[in-house]
Chains A and B, each alone.
Chain A
Amino acid sequence: MTAVTHYFKNVVDSVKTTLIGLGITGKYLLQKPITVQYPDERLPIPNRYRGIHYLEQEKCIDCLACARACPIDCIEMDAVRHGKELEWISFTLDYQKCMFCELCVYPCPKDCIHMGTEFAFVSYDRSEFVHDLLSYRGMARDAKVRMVEAEKKKKAKEEAKKAKEGAQAAVVAEAADDEGEEASSEDA
């Protein structure tokens, strides 16, 4: 008798458990996918993520503190000093060596080197992994966009200012011309 009940219990169990399983997978089927279409949309990256470095080159004073702190000597920089002005030649970081330890960030006296959120870089050639950090390589995409926009706005403002000043100058010049004419007429 036990064998018979066991037999029918097996049948009932298999049907029941299959239905339960179908319910679970069906729930997932209707759920929204949690993956994103990567190159088009990206998941938010945490602020303290250690990606490609981002250098604020206006702040940097060429003190070599980060290069000295680097345990594998992958940072190299070169600049020429003209009095107080710095003329940058190169600031390179070899990403074949870099282990993204963030030790270069802490000693910086001007707080100008940071770890960014960009991480994807591929190349057909090893030499291309030596990145020049000048020109804001490694800055987060949205930050870069903001910076470019701010610069554009700044330029536009300056140009507007210049145009205004030019117009004023022209007015002043005209006035001077008028005065000159008057003076000449008086002379006549």
Chain B
Amino acid sequence: MLTFDPAIGFSSAVLAVQSAESGLKDGFGTNAIQDFLVGVKPEYVPAWAVPLTAIGIAIGIVLAIVSVLAMFSTWLERKVSGHIQCRFGPMRVGWHGWLQPLADGVKLLLKEDMIPLGADRTLYVIAPALVLASLLGAMAAFPLTETFYFANFGLGIFMILALTSTTTIGVVMAGWSSNSKWSLYGAMREAAQVVAYEIPLGISLLVPIMVAGSFNLIEVSQGQGGGYGILNWNIWPWVNPFMLPAFVLFFVAILAETKRAPFDLPEAESELVAGFMTEYSGIRWSFFFMEEYAAMFLYCVVGSFFFFGGFESPVTSLAESVGGTNSLLHQLGAASTIVLKGFAGVFLMMWLRWTLPRVRIDQVMTMGYKYLTPLALVCVLGAGLWEAFIAPHLWWRS
């Protein structure tokens, strides 16, 4: 199957640091696209064009995946919010409005692209691109199956956390360059919120990392496979009793990280018009929108890798037993499993959005610093003690 050279990643500096620090899982020789291109290259094309074309194709694939996920998420959001309020949501464009995101996309492309007179033009234009680019970089580390991925690092989760938190810089840039009070308030809130919630997010992820003994998404997923099927998933208390509280902390933290309600203070529409994206319109605005939905999906996928078995599910095991290991059927089973688990998480986030009212900024800070961080530390301590003294004696953990 297709395995791609990590060199087609999207931020060469990050990649260089990564490869120096952690060592790459696969060397630089497993680039299917590049191999294919070398095979079909005519004589007059220079050799240096091949890796560049391969990078372009890979970026295109990731961009396509991200846009399809974001489009489906916006449709899901509108349907879920509609039905929770006892209405239908979009119904006109296609069956139950499933083509609505496409119509919205056309509308956004045709809209006038406005830049305010007092704005810092350079930063204003770069900000949405930076936000989307850092998320695309993080998406490259999302393995769709055990052998289909764009970048597979020993420290895969670190790369995802690092690149997704980079979006904050873009948000702050957008807020500052818009030259609007609402935008600046939104950007400052975003910065404060991300600083507060990165800590419990990273710490709560340490619990499954300790259980799996790896930072690599695929290895964590493989660690949860085994003879007991669904009962092997990390979330169960017999694997580690601190896993469930760690998951709750993780979920609250990703709600804040992705600026979702009840922590949607950066864009709080009733107070700040639209927060940091008040001045944006058209396709630039849709970059922020796409980033939000793709980030939701990415974080939920990370959550399902670390707590809910990753690729492991009855469907995947069935596909593997029917088609054989790493057969096309097995790959399809694994990919659909992880995508479904991701969207289950996205659905839960939407459900929460329409359940809870927005909290105040001081409540957000209190929750982040006084509740999530200490509780996450307690979880890590407890899980570490469990792993050191109790887990070795459990027959189902050996």
Instruction: Answer whether residue A135 sits at the interface, using C-beta atoms and an 8 A cutoff.
Output: no
Chain A interface helix/strand/loop/mixed: helix
**Which residues in B have their C-beta under 8 angstroms from that of A25?**
84, 351, 354-355
Contact A28 B85 (CB under 8 A): yes
C-alpha spacing A29/B88, complex, angstroms: 10
Q: Which residue of B is nearest A23, CB measured?
A: B355
Cβ of A17 to closest chain B Cβ, rounded Å: 9
If A10-B371, A29-B351 touch, whether A21 touches B86 (CB-CB below 8 Å) is: no
Partner of A35, one of B88, B352, B354, B356: B88
Q: Using a CB–CB distance below 8 Å, which chain B residues touch chain A?
A: 80, 82-88, 91, 248, 351-352, 354-356, 371, 375
Interface residues on A, range: 10 to 19
* Pairwise interchain contact B351-A37, C-beta atoms closer than 8 A: no
B252 to chain A, nearest CB (A): 9
Closest to A35 in B: B87
Residues of chain A within 8 A (CB-CB) of B83 are 28-29, 33
Which chain A residues in 32-49 approach chain B with CB under 8 Å?
Answer: 32-35, 37
Q: Please determine whether B88 and A33 come into contact, CB atoms closer than 8 angstroms.
A: yes
Residues of B close to A15: CB separation below 8 A = 248
Closest residue of chain A to B92, judged by CB? A37
Q: Which of A82-138 contact B (CB under 8 A)?
A: none
Tell me, in angstroms, the Cα distance from A33 to B87 when the chains sit together.
Answer: 5
The 8 A-B pairs of least Cβ separation, nearest first, read A21-B355, A35-B87, A25-B355, A34-B86, A29-B84, A25-B84, A33-B86, A33-B88
Chain A residues near B355: list those with CB within 8 A.
18, 21-22, 24-25
Candidates A22, A32, A37; contact of B352 at CB < 8 Å:
A22
Nearest Cβ on chain B to A129's Cβ, whole angstroms? 28
Output the nearest chain B residue to A20 by Cβ-Cβ distance: B355
Contacts of B371 in A (CB 8 A): 10-11
- The answer, among A11, A22, A26, A35, for a CB contact under 8 Å with B86, is A35
Query: Which B residues lie within 8 Å of A29 (CB)?
Result: 80, 83-84, 351
Q: Which residue of B lies closest to A18 (CB)?
A: B356
Q: Are A37 and B91 in contact (CB under 8 A)?
A: yes
